[in-house]
Chains A and B, each alone.
Chain A
Amino acid sequence: MKQTSLRSPSREELVRLKDRVRIEQAHRKRRLLALFWLTLGPGVLVMLGENDAPSMLSYAATGAKYGLGFFLPFVLLTFAMAFVVQEITVRLGAVTKTGHAELIYRRFGRFWGHFSMVDLLITNFLTLVTEFLGVAAGASFFGIKPVYAVVLAAIIVLLTYQFRRYWSWERALLALAAINLVFIPVGIMVHPLWGQVATSFLTFSPLPKHVGSTFIVILLSDIGATVTPWMLFFQQAAVSDKGLLIKDITWGRLDTAVGAVLAAASGIFTIIATSVLFDHHITATNYNAAQFAQALVPYAGKVAGVLFALGIMEAGTLAAIAIATSTAYSFGEVTNTPHSLNASFSEAKMFYGILFSVVVLAATLVLIPGIPLIYIILSVNVLAVLTMPPALVFLLLLANDKDITGKYRNSTLLNVLGITVTIVIILAGLLFAVSSIINI
């Protein structure tokens, strides 16, 4: 008689399984809306998390400098590129039930595995600093001192890890992420010329009057920042931690597409909102979040200013959570220690330890007087350019690795799209990094 052995599931697995039951029932009963809702998460969070504080301020600066025109459809294009890349992480996560860092470690060796982790750790930590700075800048609109804003944001970030259940953590984050959409009503409140908005989308025009070095730099910077490394590591790990299976890949794609559309809409409406400053010849080159919010008040009302500032605070907070989580995931994957939001504190000490440490350290750094934060801000973009090409190249190699993905590997079309997007992002990032040196 054949004997079958079945290991008792751990607490982490039990929690994941209990959440899995609902998805299985929805599959069995073909309840499509329920399936959409239950599988929604990693894609929306990664895309709206990419709309972090610096990104939203970058959109605001673009709208104030160039008005309605080329950059509106351009934002849509960048998120289409992001979708091409992030869709691969859905497939990899669902097929392997493993994170990106672990796959790199296993297939390409210790050097690249540790490089990915250490580089991500450093880049993510510095990015966290910029997120807390963004929160403080947004909070200054309400007269809240930076120390209170940063401490409050850090507390909110840390509180989300109390659930010890991926599902609950994800739902809380989705509620927070929804606030990113406040930029849409702000854009509507400035009463833009909708005909001009439509023309911009159809014709990618008008181009800025003076297509100079600043325009090129912004273009390169935006393309280079289309996908940041933490997004790859976060979404694949989240798909795996959520317990998505092969049969959920289509829903994971839909989740990612919805996220891309929402994030693009948020970015586009931010540009529309601040285009009113361009129309009124207001120089907003070095505005911070509070200044943008204040500048909008005469044209869109106090509510618009409030919503804008709140949106920046949310952008920084959500990104801080997602970035910190991606750091902890990759650390656990490379060091082969437990790394799941379904695990208890005692089960995953290193995972939660990393999470808490990076958040607390980043928040502390922002509050230390005299720290040259401007160097951090300037270095983050260059650091991201350092990390991105290896992450993208490995992503494509893994997606085509028959031993890993089997029949779910990239099709020819996906490879053409993926390689094109990878080359464009790498080149743009390289040119941006080199130009930032040449401009010395």
Chain B
Amino acid sequence: MQIIKSKPEDTVTTIKSETVLNSLPGASLEEYHSDQHRIKQLSKKKLNRGLYLIIWMLRIYVVFMLVVLALNVLNNMH
């Protein structure tokens, strides 16, 4: 098994790393890494018509609420 060290070695850190790795089932770390890697590989979701409509309704909602917020702030100032 080849261990690729990603940073310049700190001997104490390396020994501690190997000790922890060797004392653990590797499954936990492997699951963690593989799931994070899987998520990082995700691209933007392809939207079908329904989702496209929902996203646009959200955009309209945001604009509407920004107006409401602005009115709220103006009202409070008066």
Evaluate whether A103 and B39 lie within 8 angstroms (CB atoms) in the complex, with A382-B72, A386-B65, A393-B54 already known: yes
Bound CA span A226–B75, Å: 26
B31 touches A246 (CB 8 A): yes
Does residue A285 face the partner (Cβ distance < 8 Å to B)?
no
What chain A residues lie within 8 Å of B58 (beta carbons)?
389-390, 393
Evaluate whether A4 and B1 lie within 8 angstroms (CB atoms) in the complex, with A386-B66, A386-B69, A393-B58 already known: yes
What is the minimal beta-carbon distance from B30 to any residue of chain A, in angstroms? Answer: 9
Interface of chain B residues 47 through 78 with chain A (CB within 8 A)? 51, 54-55, 58, 61-62, 65-66, 68-69, 71-73, 75-77
The A interface is mostly helix, strand or loop, or mixed, namely helix
- Of the candidates B17, B24, B31, which one forms a contact with A8 in the assembled complex, judged by CB atoms under 8 Å apart? B17
What is the minimal beta-carbon distance from A14 to any residue of chain B, in angstroms? Answer: 6
What chain A residues lie within 8 Å of B21 (beta carbons)?
6, 9
What chain A residues lie within 8 Å of B54 (beta carbons)?
393, 397
B24 touches A21 (CB 8 A): yes
What chain B residues lie within 8 Å of A385 (beta carbons)?
65
A243 touches B39 (CB 8 A): no
Interface of chain B residues 9 through 66 with chain A (CB within 8 A)? 13-14, 16-17, 20-21, 23-25, 28-29, 31-32, 35-36, 38-40, 42-45, 51, 54-55, 58, 61-62, 65-66
B45 touches A107 (CB 8 A): yes
Bound CA span A36–B8, Å: 39
CB nearest neighbor in B for A95: B35
Bound CA span A67–B31, Å: 52
What chain B residues lie within 8 Å of A20 (beta carbons)?
24, 28
Bound CA span A326–B29, Å: 24
A96 touches B24 (CB 8 A): no
Bound CA span A202–B19, Å: 58
A440 touches B75 (CB 8 A): yes
- Of the candidates A13, A383, A436, which one forms a contact with B29 in the assembled complex, judged by CB atoms under 8 Å apart? A13
What is the minimal beta-carbon distance from A310 to any residue of chain B, in angstroms? Answer: 32
B42 touches A106 (CB 8 A): yes
A96 touches B69 (CB 8 A): no
Does residue A142 face the partner (Cβ distance < 8 Å to B)?
no
Bound CA span A8–B68, Å: 51
Give a binary string over A1-42; 1 marks a CB under 8 Å from any B CB, 0 the rest: 001111111010110111011001000000000000000000
Does residue A368 face the partner (Cβ distance < 8 Å to B)?
no
Bound CA span A383–B69, Å: 7
What is the minimal beta-carbon distance from A433 to any residue of chain B, in angstroms? Answer: 5
- Of the candidates A6, A14, A397, which one forms a contact with B51 in the assembled complex, judged by CB atoms under 8 Å apart? A397
Bound CA span A107–B38, Å: 13
CB nearest neighbor in A for B25: A24
What chain B residues lie within 8 Å of A97 (beta carbons)?
31-32, 35-36, 39
Does residue A437 face the partner (Cβ distance < 8 Å to B)?
yes
What chain A residues lie within 8 Å of B43 (beta carbons)?
106
B39 touches A404 (CB 8 A): yes
CB nearest neighbor in B for A4: B1
Evaluate whether A14 and B72 lie within 8 angstroms (CB atoms) in the complex, with A107-B45, A390-B62 already known: no
What is the minimal beta-carbon distance from B31 to any residue of chain A, in angstroms? Answer: 6
A9 touches B17 (CB 8 A): yes
B-binding segment of A72-80, A205-213, A286-294, A371-379:
A371-379
What chain B residues lie within 8 Å of A245 (beta carbons)?
28, 31-32
What chain A residues lie within 8 Å of B76 (beta carbons)?
374-375, 378-379
Bound CA span A8–B75, Å: 57
A102 touches B39 (CB 8 A): yes
CB nearest neighbor in A for B68: A433
Going nearest first, the 4 A-B pairs with the smallest beta carbon separation are A386-B65, A107-B45, A97-B35, A375-B76
Q: Which residues of A contact B (CB under 8 A)?
A: 3-9, 11, 13-14, 16-18, 20-21, 24, 95-98, 102-103, 106-109, 112, 115, 243, 245-246, 374-375, 378-379, 382-383, 385-386, 389-390, 393, 397, 401, 403-404, 433-434, 436-437, 440
A-B CB contact pairs (8 Å), 6 listed: A8-B7, A97-B35, A379-B73, A386-B62, A401-B45, A434-B68
- Can you add 13 more A-B contacts, CB < 8 Å, to A3-B2, A375-B77, A386-B69? A8-B4, A17-B20, A20-B28, A24-B24, A24-B28, A95-B35, A96-B35, A98-B35, A245-B28, A245-B31, A379-B76, A389-B58, A401-B45
